[in-house]
């Protein structure tokens, strides 16, 4: 940790995402972000391996008979050995099938934040909104992340991911509109009016759904499909490339499901406020980054009758950091 980070006493925004954990800080009226992949893999412990990892400055911890390599370094090792990374979170919350889940998230958060510089330093951290008719373990997940931050000396406050997008993106519309974070584990949605959340929910078909389904029909590793999706994939129709086609098909399914669920939730809301003016809708998150995503989303929106009038539909200029920035802005308020 550098000296400026040690001296940083202002609030922090933390996006605890299924794929990445991102910390946002404010300095000189600018935002600064640090992130780590929310993933890990294990190696059998040996003193030689531990010494070599220390020499190469690889982020790792010794857990009994295993060495746990976490964060960005985990992906590098997974590529070398052609294996899948393991994920401490699943569908937006701590993975109940993964015994290392809590420890890995704790280590990554501690690496990004360090200990609080002052007593009770404020941190707003993202949590998913509920998924309809589904028990997701959100209360346990929220309490676990809060305890990690408390143990590091911070005063933690949860904020739903969709509302964080509203704070990060919709300041020009008085924090009124629809914020959507298309992440790996979930798509989080929030309709807010003057920063007050009116509707918040999550949709389970998101980035991991696309990766898993595309891997199933192509025989490739989900991690390789995720990397291709983030680096070179374009959502521009079917072609002669089977990987391109698989990603396209499941992207279309994800977008269609998101739009239909958005219409359903807003239409069934019993206390929907009367909005005299149209409001913006902004999309963020890694799964919204491929070129062509916005066009497909707009096409799907044309097939539904949304009870709320929209002034614009756009993608965040910085989709990977939008949630962390919004959490920071909420903490600064």
At 221-261, the pLDDT tens digits run 787 787 788 778 899 878 878 989 999 999 999 999 999 99
Distance from C-alpha of 324 to C-alpha of 333, rounded to nearest angstrom: 14
One domain, residues 192 and 231: yes
* CATH for 78: 3.30.420.40
Owning domain of residue 293: 167-315
Distance from C-alpha of 162 to C-alpha of 182, rounded to nearest angstrom: 9
One domain, residues 79 and 123: yes
Distance from C-alpha of 320 to C-alpha of 182, rounded to nearest angstrom: 10
The per-residue pLDDT for 117 is 94
One domain, residues 189 and 254: yes
One domain, residues 148 and 7: yes
Structural domain includes residue 225:
yes
* Alpha helix ranges (H) inside the chain: 3-7, 47-55, 72-81, 101-113, 138-151, 161-169, 207-218, 222-231, 242-268, 293-301, 322-332
The count of structural domains within the chain is 2
Distance from C-alpha of 237 to C-alpha of 37, rounded to nearest angstrom: 29
For tokens 């584990």, what's the residue? 185
The per-residue pLDDT for 2 is 38
- The phi and psi torsions of 240 (rounded to 5 degrees) equal -85, 0
Q: DSSP letters along 299-311, please?
A: HHHTTS--SS-EE
The per-residue pLDDT for 5 is 55
Structural domain includes residue 309:
yes
Residues of the chain with pLDDT under 70: 1-6
Pairing status of strand 12-16 against strand 177-182: unpaired
The per-residue pLDDT for 7 is 76
Structural domain includes residue 62:
no
One domain, residues 156 and 177: no
The per-residue pLDDT for 77 is 80
Structural domain includes residue 199:
yes
One domain, residues 245 and 110: no
Nearest residue to 136 (alpha-carbon basis) of 165, 105, 95: 95
The per-residue pLDDT for 6 is 59
One domain, residues 178 and 206: yes
Distance from C-alpha of 91 to C-alpha of 204, rounded to nearest angstrom: 7
Structural domain includes residue 47:
no
One domain, residues 201 and 290: yes
The per-residue pLDDT for 232 is 83
The per-residue pLDDT for 4 is 42
Structural domain includes residue 264:
yes
One domain, residues 273 and 132: no
């Amino acid at each position: 940790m550098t000296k400026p980070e040690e001296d940083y006493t202002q609030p922090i925004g933390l996006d605890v995402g299924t794929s990445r954990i991102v910390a946002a800080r404010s300095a000189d009226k600018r935002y600064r972000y640090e992130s780590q992949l929310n993933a890990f893999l294990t190696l059998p412990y040996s003193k030689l391996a531990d010494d070599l990892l220390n020499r190469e400055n690889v982020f790792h911890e010794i857990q009994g008979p295993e060495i746990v390599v976490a964060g960005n370094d985990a992906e590098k090792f997974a590529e070398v050995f052609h294996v899948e990374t393991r994920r401490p979170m699943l569908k937006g919350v701590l993975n109940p099938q993964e015994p290392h889940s809590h420890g890995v998230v704790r280590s990554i958060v501690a690496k990004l934040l360090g200990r609080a510089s002052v007593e009770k330093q404020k941190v707003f951290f993202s949590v998913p909104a509920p998924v309809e008719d589904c028990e997701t373990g959100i209360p346990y997940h929220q309490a676990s992340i809060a305890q990690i931050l408390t143990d590091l000396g911070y005063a933690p406050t949860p904020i739903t991911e969709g509302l964080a997008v509203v704070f990060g993106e919709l300041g020009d519309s008085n924090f009124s509109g629809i914020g959507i974070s298309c992440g790996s584990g979930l798509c989080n949605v929030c309709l807010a009016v003057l920063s007050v959340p009116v509707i918040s929910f999550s949709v389970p078909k998101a980035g991991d759904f696309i990766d898993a389904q595309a891997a199933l029909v192509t025989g490739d590793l989900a991690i390789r499909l995720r990397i291709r999706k983030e680096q070179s994939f374009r959502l521009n129709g079917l072609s002669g490339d089977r990987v391109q086609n698989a990603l396209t098909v499941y992207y279309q399914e994800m977008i269609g499901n998101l739009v239909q669920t958005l219409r359903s939730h807003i239409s069934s809301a019993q206390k929907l406020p009367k909005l005299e003016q149209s409001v913006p809708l902004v999309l963020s998150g890694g799964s919204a980054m491929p070129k062509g995503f916005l066009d497909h989303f707009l096409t799907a929106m044309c097939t539904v009758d949304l009870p709320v009038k929209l002034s614009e539909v756009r993608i965040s200029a910085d989709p990977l950091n939008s949630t962390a920035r919004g959490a920071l802005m909420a903490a600064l308020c």
